Each structure stands twice: as C-alpha cells, then as structure tokens.
Structure 1
Amino acid sequence: MKRLFFVITTLFCIHNSSAQLFSKEKVQNLQNFDKPRLSWGYILGLNSYNFDFDYTADASANDIMVDKTVGFNVGLLGNMRINDYLDLRLEPMVTFTQRNLTYTGPEFTTLSESTREVKSTYVHIPLLLKVSTKRLNNFKPFIVGGISTSINLSSNEDNPDDNSLNQFRTTTNTNYYEIGFGIDFFLYYFKFTPSIRGVFAMSDELVRDNDPNSPYTSTIDKMSTRGIFINFTFQ
C-alpha cells in the first residue's frame, strides 16, 4: 500500500509539474508592439521559381524540362492593423531568379538549340491579408493570402529577336494569387517572422516566336509561373 501510494503521488507530481511547465504564462516581450495602426519592416528571403506548361492538342509527347535554381528576395513591409487578428500588408520587393529550359525532340540537335536560360528580375508587389491566432506567450502563428503583380525587368517582350536568335521572351507584367503561413516571434528588441508562401501566376507569360510553327513556342498553349518564397521579416 505504501508503494502504491508513493507511485500515485510521484505520478501526480510529474503531471502537475508538466502542466505548469507548458501552461504557465511567460513574460511577454514587446507587449504593445502590435497595437499601432501602422508599422513597417524589411524582408530578406529565398525563392524557387518554376514554369507550369499547358500544351496544345497537337503537341508531341516531348515535355519541356525546367531546371529550377534558388534565387533571393529583398524588400520592405508596410502593415496596417485592422484588429487583433487581421492585418493588411503591402510587401514590395525585388526578386532575382533563373530557370533553365531543356527542349527534347529530334529537331533540337545541339545543346545551344535545346537549352534556354530564362533569367528574371521581378519588381514584385503583393497586397495580402494576414489572419493571426491569439498571441501565445512570445509567438503568434498566422496564415496569409492575397493578390500581387510584378514587372519583369528581364522579360525581352519588346525584343524583335526570338528563339531563332537564342532570345526567349516573356511578358513584362504578370498577376498572381498567393497563399502561405508563418509565425511571428516576439524577441527582446524586435519581431522576427519566418514565413513560406506559394505564388501562382494567373496569366500566360509566353511571348510567341515570329514563326507560327516555331518548335519552341508553337506547341505551348499556356506558360505560367509557379513559385515558393521563404521570407524572413524583421520589424
């Protein structure tokens, strides 16, 4: 009986200690940080862009292969507080990326013919709605979504040369929808926010070659960007 009483007492103490450890409120950093109507910050991050292809009905079975690279983002944050759970965010940034396309098929006989480097520098401007949970000690999870637009400074849209002269052309302006999630960490001196977000173009970005039978563009019905952003925000 004494042993049973000792075991029950020990288990009760362990349970009580664990409950206090995980439920006890800690001292909150930056308690009034999210109270102002307007706030700002800056963004550093990484990106990985891809192209999603839709092919025409008479296209061959040879898909275009996309070799993705890791680029980087740098930008600013403007945040407008709506209430304790909703914020409207403007995140203008510049993103740098590169995608390498490989064409397959008997018409492409050399490496220079079958590969195209698509280097892009975007001025990317998202308008996002941030939906947060209640703050838990010094962190606050959230989801975010919205729309964005971009200007591709490397698009070559107005270049008269096309793939016959090794010039792969894309549109200058593109619109997207975005969705993601992240966590606000309230540190001693500032708020640090890592987040991950998917970016999906809503329009066709391909500029067709001058030759309507071009093997580079004639089989493509639509080419649109898909991307992932991993951003680190400092406020």
Structure 2
Amino acid sequence: MKNILAILITFFCIQSASAQLFDKEKIKNNENVDKKTLSYGYFLGFNSYDFNFDYYQDRKDILVEKSIGFSVGLIGNLRINDYIDVRLEPGLYITTRNLIYDESYFSGLEYTDSDLIREVKATYIHVPLLLKLSTKRINNFKPFIVGGFSTALNLSSNQDNPDDNSAGEFRTNKNLYFYELGFGIDFYLFFFKFTPSVRGVFSFNNEIVPDVDPNSPWTGNVKSMKTRGLFINLTFQ
C-alpha cells in the first residue's frame, strides 16, 4: 500500500513538471469525447493475484507462486464534470496461484510431494465502482487517479464441494469484497481515446474455507487468507 501511494505522489510530481514542458498548444484530437454525460468502452488487460496470510502460530510462511492472468471487460462512464467521473467496469478475470507448503506443516504425518502444493484456480466476475479524478487535459493526454470499491464472484471457488484438502480439493469462498487504488493516462488519438492504467486491489474478507479437520496441515494454522492483486488494463473508448 505504501509503495502504491509513493508511486502516485511521484506520478503527480512528474505530471506537474511535464505540464510546463508540454504547455505549447497542439491540435487536439477528439476534443469533445469527454463532453458526453454517458460514455462506454471496453478493456483488455493482465492481472497478477497474490494472497496475504495471517496465522494462528508462528510457523514458516505458505509461499504463493503467482502467474500472469488475463482480463477482459466493459466500461460505463458517468461524467460529473471536467475532472470527476464515476465508472463501472465489470469484467472477467482469470488467474491461477500455487500454494507451496513447508514440510514442517506435515510433521508426524505421512505425505507425498503433491501434498506440499495446492493449485488455486480462480475465475472472477469482478465488478468495481470507481471514482476517477483527472487533471486538466494537456494537449492530447490527461493523467488521473482512480479508487473505489468492488465485489467479485469466484466461479472456481469450490466453496460448496464436500471434499476438502484430504481429497486434494482446496476450497475458497465465492464472494469477495475489495478496495482499489490506481492511476493512468488518457491518450486522445484521432479516432478514439486509449487509456493504459495500473490498479492495486485488496480484499476485505477472508477467502479460505477450512477443512473438516481443525488440525488440517493445509488450513489449520491459517487465520485468514486475503486476495490482493495488480491489474494492468488497456482501455478503448
């Protein structure tokens, strides 16, 4: 979180300095594109999800092996004024994470190498409601920050599966709630507006579904497991 805030502060310091460098007037593309009360678009992107663990006892951390996932979705934008917009960005986010357990979790138990790894697949229907705060347009680009809250439905959660880790099934909750914070730049091209953006997402609620055995080596020592992630989206409007 501190790193994201530092990036945002640096971003706006650079933006303030660059405003003086790019102050010379140029021909503006799509000059009226931001004047519409309602506008629509779509995005394509990449995501990287992680887990943040809290434990009951001080033991070796469960390691998270991350991967790069794919994202696609739609955008609905409500203009409040020249500097404030409210956005709804429902999308499909697909990712996979591997949880790697230390052998100490299985002390006194028989186990195989496959017991030390659990694959956690996720297919999220992710719906954020965001507030976008923009600077003044500088020729054909306009920096902004964005933040808000979101909910997600994990279609791959296994929450209602009667089998747990003893049968090789790692279960997670279906419904998640997040807060989000990010930044980006609107680029006004001749035919459309192109926006690359970076956003961090942080879950409020515990995602893990405990195994039936309260002393399970996979879930027994986990107090909470919360999703966090990084989105890189390319938006077209």
Q: What TM-score do you get using the length of structure 2 for normalisation? A: 0.88
Q: 1:104 to 1:182 in 2, by over 3 A?
A: same
Cα deviation for residue 60 of structure 1 reads 4.4
2:35 counterpart SS class: coil
Corresponding residue of 1:114: 116
The one-letter code sitting in structure 2 at the alignment partner of 1:98 is T
- Which protein has the larger Cα radius of gyration, Structure 1 or Structure 2? 1
Between the aligned partners of 1:110 and 1:231, the Cα distance in structure 2 is: 40
Between the aligned partners of 1:76 and 1:140, the Cα distance in structure 2 is: 21
From 164, 186, 189, the counterpart of 1:187: 189
1:112 counterpart SS class: helix
Between the aligned partners of 2:21 and 2:96, the Cα distance in structure 1 is: 48
Q: Identity over the aligned pairs, expressed in percent?
A: 62
Cα deviation for residue 62 of structure 1 reads 1.7
2:103 counterpart SS class: coil
1:155 counterpart SS class: coil
The one-letter code sitting in structure 2 at the alignment partner of 1:74 is V
Corresponding residue of 1:95: 93
Instruction: Decide whether the 8 Å contact of 1:89 with 1:130 is kept in 2.
Output: yes
Between the aligned partners of 2:103 and 2:228, the Cα distance in structure 1 is: 25
- Root-mean-square deviation (CA, aligned residues, Å) is 1.3
1:34 counterpart SS class: helix
Between the aligned partners of 1:80 and 1:62, the Cα distance in structure 2 is: 47
Q: Tell me, yes or no, if structure 1 residue 226 matches structure 2 residue 224.
A: no
Q: Tell me, yes or no, if structure 1 residue 36 matches structure 2 residue 15.
A: no
Return structure 1 stretches of 4+ with deviation > 2 angstroms. 20-23
From 62, 82, 90, the counterpart of 2:80: 82
Cα deviation for residue 21 of structure 1 reads 7.8
Corresponding residue of 2:67: 69
Q: Tell me, yes or no, if structure 1 residue 125 matches structure 2 residue 123.
A: no
Between the aligned partners of 1:48 and 1:89, the Cα distance in structure 2 is: 22
The one-letter code sitting in structure 2 at the alignment partner of 1:102 is I
Between the aligned partners of 1:144 and 1:24, the Cα distance in structure 2 is: 27
Q: Deviations over 1:12-41 (max 9, x none)?
A: xxxxxxxx9843200000000000100000
The one-letter code sitting in structure 2 at the alignment partner of 1:72 is F
The one-letter code sitting in structure 2 at the alignment partner of 1:189 is F
Between the aligned partners of 1:233 and 1:140, the Cα distance in structure 2 is: 14
Instruction: Decide whether the 8 Å contact of 1:194 with 1:231 is kept in 2.
Output: yes
1:80 counterpart SS class: strand
Q: What TM-score do you get using the length of structure 1 for normalisation? A: 0.89
Q: 5+ unaligned residues in a row in structure 2: which ranges?
A: 1-19
